[in-house]
Amino acid sequence: MQGLREKLDFVLQKIERARIAYSRHHIIKLVAVSKYSEVEKITELYHCGQRAFGENKVQDLRDKKQEMTLFPIEWHFIGNLQRNKINLLLDLNPFLIHSVDSLELAQEIEKKCALQNKSVRILLQVNSSYEESKSGVSPEECVEVYHQILQKCPHLKLEGLMCMGAHSIKIDAIEKSFKITKDLFDSLQGVGAKTLSMGMSNDYEIAIANGANLLRIGSEIFKSSF
């Protein structure tokens, strides 16, 4: 059975090839999505050198962080955030919230941050594939919502965009969703956008080819293989 170190190395090699093909000057960060993995596997991956991990449920993030208090892990929240879980998530001091999918959610987080006198780093999620099953602002309203958050939410450090690639077997459709997000990201760099979170296990090489600099990869690292 292939171990976690071998699988991580394999993914890192694929990332490096795609990065060089895009630009030798491009810097890419990997978030290992640990939502289906137990603490033992996260610990093993940590000892392989991986430091950033992503969870999509606040309770799971809390439980794993409590079990791994001795490890200086960079925890990312990547799932849909329910309003009644905002306080709990803020208590956990996540490194970055990828999935702020509306101005309304941003304003709710802002209210909680103001009460606690703290700030949090976030990304605005874009539904660039126009799929009803996905959360996020539409590409047409993205720039306006981005500026609204900058103006109305001083406790939120808005650092860029996140999207999920089109759910399709057609590479053209996946590329199109990533390119839409990249074009929006480029238009926002003048107001501080620096992080473009795109690409998961099935499409991260396509995401890199379209400018992603933060990847969210889970199953290709953690899944069992023989």
Distance CA 202, CA 125 (A): 19
Tell me the CA distances in angstroms from 142 to 78, 147, 181, 185, one per residue in order.
19, 9, 9, 10
Structure token digits, residue 29: 């960060």
Residue 36: predicted pLDDT: 85
Q: Which two tokens stand for residue 37?
A: 């993995």
pLDDT in tens, the chain (226 residues): 579 999 999 999 999 999 999 999 999 999 999 988 999 999 999 999 999 999 999 999 999 999 999 999 999 999 999 999 999 999 999 999 999 999 999 999 999 999 999 999 999 999 999 999 999 999 999 999 999 999 999 999 999 999 999 999 999 999 999 999 999 999 999 999 999 999 999 999 999 999 999 999 999 999 865 4
Which among 109, 106, 211, 121 has a CA at the least distance from the CA of 163? 211
Per DSSP, 163 falls in state: -
Half-sphere exposure for 40 (CA within 13 Å, toward CB): 1
* Residue 39: predicted pLDDT: 95
Q: What is the CATH number of the domain that holds 187?
A: 3.20.20.10
Q: What pLDDT does 106 receive?
A: 98
pTM: 0.96
Residue ranges making up the domain that contains 96: 4-222
Q: Can you give the pLDDT at residue 27?
A: 98
Using DSSP's 3-state secondary structure scheme, residue 129 falls into: coil
- How far is the C-alpha of 146 from the C-alpha of 114, rounded, in Å? 19
Tell me how far CA of residue 53 lies from CA of 43, 60, 65, 173, 188, in angstroms: 11, 12, 10, 28, 26
pLDDT at 60: 97
User: What is the DSSP-derived secondary structure letter of residue 36?
Assistant: T
Question: What is the tally of structural domains in the chain?
Answer: 1
Based on its alpha-carbon atoms, the radius of gyration of the chain, rounded to whole angstroms, reads 17
